[in-house]
Structure 1
Amino acid sequence: MRGVRNFRQSWWQTCVGNWWGLYALPAKKRLRLACWTVCCHTYAGNYPAQLATRRPYLEAVAPSAVDFTYEREGPDHETVFRAIATDGRGRRGTGVGRSKKLASRNASLDFLQQHIPHALSAPRRVEPVPGSTPVEIPEPRSHTQGVRRLQAMFALPETALPLLSQAFIHASWAYENSAKLLRYRQQNNQVLAFVGSNVVVYEDALVAAQQAVLEPPEQFSYLNLDNKAYDDVFREAGLENAVLLGAGQAGHGISLEMGANFFQAILGAVYVGKSLPNRLAPYWPSAWAPIWRTITSSKSRSADPTTLLERAASAMQLRIQHHFNHSGPDHAILYRTTVILDSEALGISTRVLGPATAGKTQAKQNASAVVLQILERLARPYPAQELADTAPDEKNLGCFLLAHQAAVLSTSPVSLQRWITSRLFGLHFAQDPAKLVAWAGEVDELLDSRTTMGIAPLRDVFGVVLEGSLRSTKSLDERLADAVSDLERIITPEFLSREFLDQLVQLGDVHRCLGREDQDTDLPALADDWQILYRGRLAISKYVPNIQLTGRERAILDAAVSTVLIPGATATVEVSDSRPLRIRFLSGVGSESQNARAEGICALWSGVSRTTTLSPVDEGIEVVIRATEAPADPAPLQRLYWVL
């Protein structure tokens, strides 16, 4: 009993000491300590003299402590906790808050206000260190050693010691040692971390800009370091033993986010300790040269999952929100992020829950990575096969993303280049017909296009979009605008030249070809038509393979034939290969005007079909058609890509 009595007496003297110390504690701890201490001293028959006049209070709380119970209300994104503090006699205090900690604090305050008001009315009498400036935390030894080590490395004055000490103060230690914090006029390291994060971003961006000036890249993009990089250099610096953590947090160690925060706070303390210099580089210690190279690397960095998802969502006009849930005790909270994908085009939304982790930032990255993985699978040549072995939720997410992309293409103008760069809806396969047809067939299967294509007129819209990804729309528009401008300047028909009329005819043929689907044919039938139309003016080689041609491919070949037909000369058509089909159209007359005309026709028609390219050659044009086998029974999207 003497050991118990001595322990409780020591606890009273060190943790509370008197009513002034009790008042300095947070409300929840104040309630627990007040009740528990009075009960202990009542049991031991050894309570302080100043409580002798408060016997009604002692009788009111002894010998029972206070228990806390919690109730959770509201949806996940707007959770509210209700805490109920109850003592042994059934007296209660209630409080609400967005977290258990805040709710229990309010419940404790309510209990004290109702049942022990004099515990709140006692004046504070904390003995602070004289002066108005912060003071270095003098213990433990590992902390002071880390502080002195940093001071020596950066050649900082003695006045910087309190700042270096503050850089190691975690919020959990500050919460559990509020009296010490007040005594030494200190606070946690959040402000210093904010300062340090801006300092390192400036140094990093400056190095990146200097490198870009010396070696200009094709495209410049700047990305900040992520928390993992900051945590890695913090551990490389070997300063883990200098940090001040609360008792609960110390059992779980230093998380990635905490390590990053400590390193940024250290840089903030050094920057302020050096009297806010223009740069930290001149003062950087040689022992930390590898750390400097890490935080100011000129190498390109990959964006984090959240940034990548935001870019993709912006490109495909998908609204995203992040909601956080947490579980576990205050010193070991686990966070999970729910990504809400809201499709205005479809009028629906879906939710994606990421795995749990120790920090909010990492939880957000984890949930974003889940969506990115599905987008990556959809961008591969066989998306249906990629999703075949996934969980039902993941397959549903894939179908949602595809349906949203299809709906956006049907209802809104999009930036084709952004979609190609983000690899959305197969547009990145525009130059590979075989992959494009295979991808379209898989998407038809996932979206069940045979039954849904009639509901939404996607086929025609996709055709317009894919045409734009292949042809030079700007070039066609410019040529049409120039032709209209020339027509406006013409006063009489005498001003119309043969070249200008040919240009108008070709522009009309191109727009007619892009505006409708001509019937398919084969090369021998087309050759027979040419023999009839251009009798005596066109010589066709005997080798004419039986190859199927789409309506657009036929229009391109017709344009090539008309280009090389010159009055008084016989043009030739030579087929040199069938896979790919290679045909040369030669006029037999080499002149600068004829060559210039051939170059203009090649530029005008090269973007009409994904399978066909035109190149000017001496005295004519060479056309190459890379055929892709059409499926036996193509679905709507697959048929669309095949025709285009």
Structure 2
Amino acid sequence: MSTPYDLWPDIAASRRRFPIDPALEALRQCGAPVGDNGFVDALGVALIHTSYFYENARHLPGVTRGVLDALARLGGTFLQRHAAVKTLAWVSGNKPGPLSWEIAHIASALPAWAARQSWIAESTAVGRGLVGEPLPNRVVADLFRRIVGLLCVLDRYDCAKRLADGLLADARRVDAVLNPVTALQAAAKAAPVTYTYKREGLDHQATYHVVATDTRGRSTIGAGRSKKAAAHEAARKFLQRYYPAAIATMTAVQPATLAREMRGYRDHTWTVDRIQRAFALPPAARPLLSQALIHSSWTYEHQFETTRAGQRSNQVLGLVGSHVLEHEYTLAVVRRAVVERPDTLLVVTLPNDAYERACQWADLTNGLLLGAGQSVMGTSPEIAANLFQAVMAAVYLGKRCPATLASDWPPAWRPAWQMIAPGRARNLDNTTRLQRAASGLRLEIAYEFESSGPDHQAVFVATALLTSPLLGDSVAITGEGASGKTAAKHKVSRHVLDILASSGSGTPDEGSHALNRLVLAQQASILASDNPPVSAWTASGQFGLDLIQSPDELLDWAGRTDRHLRERSSPQLVAGLTNSFRRARNLGDTREQAIDAELLDTLNAIRAIGEPAELNRTLADRIVRLCQLFRCMGADEPDTDLAHLAGEWNIFHRDQLALTGPVPAVTLAARERAVLDAAANMIMLRSGALATATVVGERPLRVRFTGPTEPDIAHACALWSAVTWSAVVRPAPGGVEVDIARPALPLNPGPVSRAAFAALHPRPDPFRRRVADVLHDMKNHASASRQAASTVVATPAGHHEQQADAYRHLERMQRLALSLTAVTSVPDAAARCDVDLGPFLRQYARDLLTRLPDRVGLDTPATGTTARAAIDERSLGLILDNLTANAVEAMAGGGHIRIAWNVDEESAIVEVADDGPGIGADVVTALDSGARIRTTKQGGSGIGLLSVQSLLQRVGGQLVWMPSPAGTKWHVRLPLTAATEGTDE
């Protein structure tokens, strides 16, 4: 079985590139086994930044994001456990709030403290775009947690404790104020405080301003680089100004007094005895075990007795126990993860019901001291869960805080251990799952509760209310009864999830729940909005987007869906859904990539020509065919019918092509007509005799062309089959066959059917149309060059002039080929089709700086956010090259280019802005409408922006012009492929 030491098989080469000597020296002082090669290798894994991991994932077998995240999670639980135990001795009173504030304060102090430990960042392996860049505090804190988590997995708890002690010593400075937001919430109960937020600046320069206002109108203002920092400043000022006593209480903490065991209660004493024997605890642990079995209701009714014994309720111990048990659970999960190495791993906190079951199994409630009033009401699940956590805290403290309870756990208590540390990450609870589902659908969810029965046997029923702000509609679902509010909430959430799953990604039937119909209408509204989640929904098969490549299935689904949405139909809904379906088609349809690959191959062949004599007929024919293909995809022509096309053939190809047999009444789209014309030309160009075209089928339409064919007929057929989904061209015995299959729009179509049908009809592509124009010019230059090179001239001077003319046309053709190469991209099937934006943009900015003229400055992107965009690096580089090249040419007198980026719920936004004169409204209008862009640049073709738009459409992105007081600002929207990490101060 593999171990944590096996995580990085090829650590040596990577360690030479990113030495971890500073980390080894720091850990040497903490007692880590830095002379052990296995430990050094495993430490190298913990010090991998996500940017380096994604760039080198192929060369890091066994290293997964799941393992890295698991180590960080484990380190975090250790730090919280250590903080809870160390701080417990200084917290008095029955309430867990002060202890919770202390632990939260230590957690909030970690990022700044970790950033001051220079050995962490100096030893971290980062991607090429981050070399030399400072790492955000939050990232360094996460790396520190990973290191601590690794030490825990390797049973180096002594070293982990020394590292944690350094953090605690820094966090417990006398002038340190605990979480001021929580402190203010507790101090201002009579006049609650609310916070309003305002954000300024781009992501890497964002500043948040917060106003804290209470119900009496008093307010303070705070500012910071994050919402949390700004809120803390505002709350701290509020405390200092209006609640100075709260500050004094927070900073003046007195040690807790020593306690004695509560005597005279048989069941209580018997339970203490039983736990002491089971865990082999010393007699000194009995007061803590006694405290773990005291409920706050008992201390309230027996204040004199409690004070005399120096005791308190088990609430504080319960908080400590929650951190102790959370670490045990996480440790079991992570030790399994470093062996199985999952790609992703989400470690979710155990719910109270796990601890309640363990409490019931251990039969602890009989020994719990409850007040008289609470005894009548009984022991709730929350009380039982806290009881078990408090007992485990007493056991842990009684054993003098061992590294883990697992090594000395009593065999007789093994069933309880399986409940609290099962070794596998638990699934999300139903309420959390529903919250995530509702968030993805932009639905608001709220819960209402009703109870019945006597207080000690109350039954709670929860009702979930799902509301759509987009539709102004809501649905209420009531669950089954349960013994507590949390259980009732989980039950109704499970019921709602079952209803949502009943239709899956399909269409609700007439008898389905109203919630399914609300969700369907909500999905349609989201897809019709400005920034729909097309990429994510296509991948997950929502709202029929995954059916876009199967037209018959899509229209059948759309017809059934229309029965539920017809009453909500509007022109805006149809237009928005059409755009979303088209974007889904662009994402899934890779056929046009064959044409782009043919273009790049031809352009490379042209650029490799050294002299006009190498420009042969085969290459010229390839240019002509590409021109026809791109003109077909860019043409904006009306539909026609087969009979009209047959008439044109009879006029223009009277002596070359004859259409035999009956001609059915079939409507042809512009691209379908172009495919039939191309198939006819494949025959006629090679035939000296009469070629024939025969309709051999009507549904689908099948036309057979008979006659001699070209040598590369299969390749030509494949290219023409790529221009539209509805037509397939293939070689046939004696010629070529074309099949055209296009479903008809149903009678009385609803909004979804109209949108789906419109999306299946290809729109003219302005980029392809412009490429066709350039190819046409290249074809003319090729013909002129070949003619000049082959013309026989009588005089030497005439010969030299002809050759010069041939070279001149060849040079112009190659210049056009170079311009097309700069705007054409074909995704590499072997390459990753996602980009870690932060490192990529930093590296791109560095490369751009070496190419910019001295008159143009560059503001480089700097952000701690991590996000991966669904686009390959070459395509994204071409997009930015075009936008920045336009900016440079626009700023003839000098200026600045600014590159920044941000993320929202659905996409990443890369901003490219300049200080130039701006672009005309006609350019923006032409880009939005697909009209030809008129360029004012010397030698410009107007193709750059169209290529950017085309590349983005291919991946489901968008190019958006943003109004700006000066210059030009573009937003490049890219769909996300991975979770995003926020910045932190």
Question: TM (normalized to structure 2)?
Answer: 0.40
Q: How does 1:224-623 map to 2 (within 5 A)?
A: 224-251=349-376, 253-299=378-424, 301-322=426-447, 335=460, 337=462, 339-347=464-472, 357-379=482-504, 381-387=506-512, 395=514, 397-420=515-538, 424-427=542-545, 436-447=554-565, 449=566, 451-453=567-569, 455-472=570-587, 499=622, 502-503=625-626, 506=629, 509-510=632-633, 554=672, 561=679, 567-568=685-686
Counterparts in 2 of 1:174 and 1:572: CA distance versus 1, 3 Å: farther
**Other structure's SS at 1:411 match:** coil
CA contact (8 A) 1:560 1:621 kept: no
Counterparts in 2 of 1:444 and 1:285: CA distance versus 1, 3 Å: same
Query: For residues 618 and 159 of structure 1, what CA distance do their matches in structure 2 show?
Result: 96
5+ residue gaps, structure 2: 1-255, 761-985
Task: Read off the aligned partner of 1:459 and give its amino acid letter.
Answer: V
CA contact (8 A) 2:459 2:484 kept: yes
Aligned to 1:200: 325
Query: For residues 555 and 331 of structure 1, what CA distance do their matches in structure 2 show?
Result: 79
Query: For residues 329 and 415 of structure 1, what CA distance do their matches in structure 2 show?
Result: 49
Counterparts in 2 of 1:329 and 1:635: CA distance versus 1, 3 Å: same
Task: Read off the aligned partner of 1:165 and give its amino acid letter.
Answer: S
Task: Read off the aligned partner of 2:431 and give its amino acid letter.
Answer: T
Query: For residues 402 and 438 of structure 2, what CA distance do their matches in structure 1 show?
Result: 40
Task: Read off the aligned partner of 2:579 and give its amino acid letter.
Answer: V
The alpha carbon displacement at 1:404 in A equals 2.6
Counterparts in 2 of 1:372 and 1:480: CA distance versus 1, 3 Å: farther
The alpha carbon displacement at 1:410 in A equals 1.6
CA contact (8 A) 1:231 1:256 kept: yes
Report the more deviating stretch, 496-505 or 154-163: 496-505
- Deviation string, structure 1 residues 76-122 (Cα, Å, up to 9, x no partner): xxxxxxxxxxxxxxxxxxxxxxxxxxxxxxxxxxxxxxxxxxxxxxx
Q: Which has the higher contact order (CA 8 A, sep 6+)?
A: 2
1:158 to 255, 279, 283: 283
Task: Read off the aligned partner of 2:753 and give its amino acid letter.
Answer: Q
Counterparts in 2 of 1:159 and 1:500: CA distance versus 1, 3 Å: farther
Query: For residues 516 and 178 of structure 1, what CA distance do their matches in structure 2 show?
Result: 90
Query: For residues 277 and 563 of structure 1, what CA distance do their matches in structure 2 show?
Result: 84
Asked if 1:638 corresponds to 2:756, the answer is no
Counterparts in 2 of 1:414 and 1:183: CA distance versus 1, 3 Å: farther
Query: For residues 414 and 474 of structure 1, what CA distance do their matches in structure 2 show?
Result: 19
Query: For residues 693 and 419 of structure 2, what CA distance do their matches in structure 1 show?
Result: 63
Equivalent pairs counted in the alignment come to 496
Counterparts in 2 of 1:226 and 1:461: CA distance versus 1, 3 Å: same
Asked if 1:135 corresponds to 2:296, the answer is no
Aligned to 2:850: none
Q: How does 1:622-633 map to 2 (within 5 A)?
A: 633=748
- Deviation string, structure 1 residues 404-428 (Cα, Å, up to 9, x no partner): 3222222231323433566643446
Counterparts in 2 of 1:557 and 1:504: CA distance versus 1, 3 Å: closer
CA contact (8 A) 1:134 1:185 kept: yes
The alpha carbon displacement at 1:213 in A equals 3.4
Counterparts in 2 of 1:222 and 1:536: CA distance versus 1, 3 Å: farther
**Other structure's SS at 2:543 match:** coil
Aligned to 1:186: 311
Task: Read off the aligned partner of 2:308 and give its amino acid letter.
Answer: R
Aligned to 2:770: none
2:271 to 126, 146, 149: 146
Asked if 1:221 corresponds to 2:337, the answer is no
- Deviation string, structure 1 residues 247-288 (Cα, Å, up to 9, x no partner): 444455444444333333333333333333333322333333
Counterparts in 2 of 1:568 and 1:348: CA distance versus 1, 3 Å: same
Query: For residues 215 and 584 of structure 1, what CA distance do their matches in structure 2 show?
Result: 57
CA contact (8 A) 1:595 1:619 kept: no
Query: For residues 622 and 139 of structure 1, what CA distance do their matches in structure 2 show?
Result: 98
**Other structure's SS at 2:294 match:** coil
Query: For residues 681 and 285 of structure 2, what CA distance do their matches in structure 1 show?
Result: 82
CA RMSD of aligned residues (A): 5.7
Query: For residues 467 and 340 of structure 1, what CA distance do their matches in structure 2 show?
Result: 34
Query: For residues 427 and 391 of structure 2, what CA distance do their matches in structure 1 show?
Result: 26
CA contact (8 A) 1:579 1:627 kept: no
- Deviation string, structure 1 residues 40-99 (Cα, Å, up to 9, x no partner): xxxxxxxxxxxxxxxxxxxxxxxxxxxxxxxxxxxxxxxxxxxxxxxxxxxxxxxxxxxx
CA contact (8 A) 1:337 1:363 kept: yes
Question: TM (normalized to structure 1)?
Answer: 0.58
Query: For residues 659 and 366 of structure 2, what CA distance do their matches in structure 1 show?
Result: 87
Query: For residues 423 and 667 of structure 2, what CA distance do their matches in structure 1 show?
Result: 52
The alpha carbon displacement at 1:308 in A equals 1.6
The alpha carbon displacement at 1:239 in A equals 3.2
Task: Read off the aligned partner of 1:418 and give its amino acid letter.
Answer: A
5+ residue gaps, structure 1: 1-130
Task: Read off the aligned partner of 1:147 and give its amino acid letter.
Answer: V
CA contact (8 A) 1:143 1:242 kept: yes
Counterparts in 2 of 1:143 and 1:630: CA distance versus 1, 3 Å: farther
CA contact (8 A) 2:727 2:741 kept: yes
The percent of aligned pairs where both chains have the same amino acid is 33
Aligned to 2:85: none
CA contact (8 A) 1:379 1:425 kept: no
Report the more deviating stretch, 500-509 or 159-168: 500-509
Task: Read off the aligned partner of 1:155 and give its amino acid letter.
Answer: A
Counterparts in 2 of 1:625 and 1:203: CA distance versus 1, 3 Å: farther
Counterparts in 2 of 1:141 and 1:460: CA distance versus 1, 3 Å: same
**Other structure's SS at 2:509 match:** helix
CA contact (8 A) 1:537 1:565 kept: no
Counterparts in 2 of 1:481 and 1:578: CA distance versus 1, 3 Å: closer
Counterparts in 2 of 1:581 and 1:134: CA distance versus 1, 3 Å: farther
CA contact (8 A) 1:231 1:257 kept: yes
Aligned to 2:48: none
**Other structure's SS at 1:457 match:** helix
The alpha carbon displacement at 1:201 in A equals 3.0
The alpha carbon displacement at 1:598 in A equals 6.7
Query: For residues 622 and 235 of structure 1, what CA distance do their matches in structure 2 show?
Result: 76
Query: For residues 368 and 283 of structure 2, what CA distance do their matches in structure 1 show?
Result: 20
Query: For residues 246 and 404 of structure 1, what CA distance do their matches in structure 2 show?
Result: 51
Higher Rg of the two aligned structures: 1
Counterparts in 2 of 1:381 and 1:547: CA distance versus 1, 3 Å: farther
The alpha carbon displacement at 1:383 in A equals 0.7
The alpha carbon displacement at 1:465 in A equals 1.5
- Deviation string, structure 1 residues 493-523 (Cα, Å, up to 9, x no partner): 99996546655654564576xx99968x89x
Query: For residues 220 and 586 of structure 1, what CA distance do their matches in structure 2 show?
Result: 60
The alpha carbon displacement at 1:551 in A equals 5.1
